[in-house]
Amino acid sequence: MNILTEHFNTPYHSAPFNSIKNEDYLPAFKELIQKSEEEINAIVNNPEEPTFTNVIEALAYSGEQLDVASNIFFNLNSAETSDELQQIAQEVSPILTEYSSKISQNEALFNKIKKVYDQKEKYNLNEEQQMLLNETYKGFVRSGALLNDEDKEKLKKISMDLSLKSLQFGQNVLASTNNYFKHITNKDDLAGIPDAILEQYAEEAKERNLEGWVVTLQYPSYIPFMTYAENRELRKEIALANGKKSFDGGEFDNQNLIKELLTLKQQKAELLGYANYADYVLEERMAKSPSKVIDFLNELLVKAKPYADKEIEELKSLAKADGVEEMQSYDHAFYAEKLRKAKYDLNDEELKPYFPLEQVQEAVFGLSKQLFGLTFEERNDIPKYHEDVKVYEVKENGDYKSLLYVDYFPRKGKRAGAWMTSYKNQYKKNGENSRPHISIVCNFSKPTKDTPSLLTFQEVTTLFHEFGHALHGMLANTQYPTLSGTSVKWDFVELPSQFLENFCYEPEFLKTFAKHYKTGETLPDEKIEKIEHSKNFMEGYQTLRQIGFGLLDMNYHTKVSELENESVKEFEDKYTKATQLYPSNPETAMSPSFSHIFQGGYSAGYYSYKWAEVLDADAFQYFKENGIFNPEIAAKYKILLSSGGTKDPMELYKSFRGSEPKVESLLKRAFG
């Protein structure tokens, strides 16, 4: 018996992590693919006239067990991987890609879909059904359903290559990150670094059976070092190591892989009748075209550049006083922290005691109750994939709403960063509302024997960000799994996450949870005021940085032919030049570790962070004008969240706000 192919005998049919063995995956995938193919064949071979119900709906509900098994496997491959899992991923990915290609290129199935699509007027469909039909038809066309057999075969091969190469890209970045550590034995080299961080570095050394301290390229280790270390040479050394991730010509170098991935994407786009991959992607986004994205980013660039230049001049004068004649990128975090302290008398280490992780989590739980009526109850009887994970049953008015897994601490088998994901989608079928299983994964500092996990303020906003995504998943209330939760246009998906971050800067909310973990004292008013004022600190710099990533991404996916005669580094420098505020270092490049666009789903979509900022600034402005806990507006916003991808996002937004979002809301928030 293979546990992954059975119905899970667990509370709410949650993933039976404690019973799954690595050797279960491959046979389970093969069996579940076969089962899903049988479901597809049943649709194709149905002798009855094709209808919305027996074709479109049947297809939307097919492959559920395969989806659950895939979610379990690939989520673990990100959060709790091993050499063995990575090896299985290399075997499984092409099998799954082949399976999805087989469906999307199934001519008999597409003919039935097309027949329903061509006769949609006769079915009297509601709005969600119309969206499902349109998305299904378009999905098949965009997957090559209208291609001839030879081109279908080409597309299938391209898709498989893309799947394997993007997986390899991520594995290289992870290996490159884990491969480096800096062992420090002289405490003088760590001058300026707060005690809590030193304790963390000492623990890292101990885990490696070393004396002294160890700094790694994992963010909770790397960022504090760059922010506080007075030793400029060491900052430079560690920053160079970070900038060389998968860019050092070694075993885990990604430069050729980038060119291969981009060439494959271009080939895919051309096969499907698009000029480039960005055109292909943006057809399905709110932004619609590369030129609109470039115009949007350039408009922001023009407005933000003077603010960014002014910020950097301030930092340079601070650095000059220290004898630094030419500031480099590895000096930025250090002098930005100095300036922030001088301006707002705030530093992360001072604030951290007021933000123990459990308190911050309670605050976001409380906010979810106040706005949306949700409560969270820890469950110890639901299987977990690691002892660090906690599971909560989420309820609304006493009724089960969702499961929420939280996984907060770094470890060797977990990729860097923070993300929200799901193990099971929400949908309605046969009169039952099948609820979702959602997960948040972060990399916060672990508690030590004397101290709980204390968050930097940026980590507080990170937790709220991911929780915003989680709410989008947990509140889902749609008919079909493919339109549920975060299954929305990609440049709309960051609205709920970025929206929730705004609450972290509101004094009336901060006072409810920013309390010292030892004394219980509330964060003093003057510090809360400084947090509020510091919200836009280095906003010009951060905006230019994001615009730079967005422009680089858009140019990679519209101008791939230029890489025939240019290195990745030359291309990167050329298209980020207008946003660069420090000299480019020939030894470093960010593209080879730019996982968002080469491994994640942000290809030709990185701009969506800024795009969604316009949405979130405008949405929060609406709350601010009427009270940040306003129940009527919260109820309207809850409808937006629960609707998933059932409506056009702009229509959904206008129903909530009463008008389209305005760029001015973002500029007002960012620059006053």
Could you give the 3-state DSSP secondary structure of residue 24? helix
Instruction: Give one DSSP letter per residue of 42-65, joined into a string.
Output: HHHT--SPP-IIIIIIHHHHTTHH
Q: Please, what's the b/e burial string for 158-188 (b: 16 or more CB within 10 A of its CB; e: otherwise)?
A: bbbbbbebbbbbbbbbbebbbebbbebeeee
Per-residue confidence (pLDDT) for residue 395, from 0 to 100: 98
Architecture category of domain 353-535 in CATH? Orthogonal Bundle (1.10)
**Residues 214-228 pLDDT 10s:** 999 999 899 999 999
Residue ranges of the chain with per-residue pLDDT less than 70: none
Please tell me the predicted confidence (pLDDT) of residue 104. Answer: 85
Which residues, other chains included, contact 122 with Cβ-Cβ below 8 Å and sequence gap of 6+?
A: none
Rounded CA-CA distance 247/593 in Å is: 8
Cβ–Cβ < 8 Å for 670, 543? yes
Prediction pTM value? 0.81
pLDDT at 298: 94
Q: What does residue 330 show for φ and ψ, rounded to 5 degrees?
A: -75, -5
CA dist 254 and 264 (Å) reads 15
Cα separation, 143 vs 563, in Å, equals 26
Question: What pLDDT was estimated at residue 8?
Answer: 95
* CATH number, span 3-104+106-146: 1.20.1050.40
Q: Where are the domains of the chain?
A: 3-104+106-146, 180-243, 353-535
pLDDT, one tens digit per residue, over 497-544 is 999 999 999 999 999 999 999 999 999 999 999 888 888 899 999 999
pLDDT of residue 667: 85
Cα–Cα distance for residue pair 306/479, rounded to 1 Å: 48
**Residue 174, pLDDT score:** 94
Nearest to 501 by CA among 635, 340, 363: 363
Catalytic residue among 466, 506, 572, 613: 466
- Sign of the C-alpha dihedral computed for residues 4, 93, 60 and 640 taken in this order: positive
466 is catalytic: yes
Nearest 5 degrees, angle CA 202-CA 203-CA 204?
90
The 10 Å CB-count burial string (b at 16+, else e) for 391-428 is bbbbbbeeeebbbbbbbbbbeebbbbebbbbbbbbbbe
pLDDT of residue 662: 86
Spatial distance between the Cα atoms of 340 and 369, rounded to a whole number of angstroms: 34
CA 201 to chain centre: 27
